[in-house]
Structure 1
Amino acid sequence: MFAPIFEVCAASPAVRAALGSGVVVRLYPFGEAPEGVAKPYATWQGIGGAPENYLGQPPQIDSFALQVDVFADTAASARTAAKALRDAIERHAHITRWGGELKDPATGSYRIIFDVDWWVDRSA
């Protein structure tokens, strides 16, 4: 019932290199990044989705729209992490929007945003 974004990304050596420290991968559901977490890190949140409805039978596929946000201390490390996430995700889902690159004036953090559409087979 949920897109397997963490499982897919945590299995990627490039993502673990960009967002990892030991066995921890700093990729969190929205609102769950710990206070003061090391950067870079990334979050994801659901922004839409729907079951693939059919007449006469239950849905076999659910679609999920996700927003991924990467936070880092430098533009270069934000881009490295975003590229690693992109490469891991695109083997399983579709990136549908590049949301831009920002620098938060209050924290100085660099942020890259992109959206993903993920189709999940219910029988899997």
Structure 2
Amino acid sequence: MNPPIFQICAADPAVTALLGTGPTRLFPFGEAPQGVQLPYAVWQTITGTPENYLGQTPDIDSYTIQIDVYAGRGSEARQVAAALRDSIEPHAHVVGWNEESTDPDTGHKRYGFDVEWHVSR
């Protein structure tokens, strides 16, 4: 019931060149380990809706997911975001670029964007 973001991105050599393998540092919301190596990214579902029809059950779900990249430098966060974007766009649509910021507790740079993903059931 979730978009296949990890499967798509972890299979992309440009993404794994930046986020590694074993594990690929792309985590569901709230699951990034404490002290994880930079850069890394997290994703979460912002909203989702089934494609409802009269007379039949939905055959597709639409999700808006937010992706946030954390890195030591802003340029590095942008580079990872671009690799993720390039990996995702053949499968889904980027629908928004979110703010760039610095985490006040860690000093990590953050770059985020939103994706609209349609998932067949």
TM-score (norm 2): 0.96
Deviations 1:20-67 (A, max 9, x none): 1x4320000000000000000000000001000000001011001100
**Identity percentage of aligned residues:** 58
TM-superposed CA distance for 1:80, in Å, is 1.1
- Counterparts of 1:8-87 in structure 2 under 5 Å? 8-20=8-20, 22-87=21-86
Which ranges in structure 2 are unaligned for 5 or more consecutive residues? none
Report the Cα distance in structure 1 between the residues aligned to 2:52 and 2:103, rounded to whole angstroms.
Answer: 41
Partner of 1:89: 88
Supply the RMSD in Å over aligned alpha carbons. Answer: 0.9
Runs of 4+ with deviation above 6 angstroms: none
Which ranges in structure 1 are unaligned for 5 or more consecutive residues? none
Alignment size in residue pairs: 121
Q: Which amino acid aligns with 1:5?
A: I
Deviations 1:9-30 (A, max 9, x none): 101101001111x432000000
Deviations 1:81-106 (A, max 9, x none): 10100000111000111002111233
- Partner SS, residue 80 of structure 1: helix
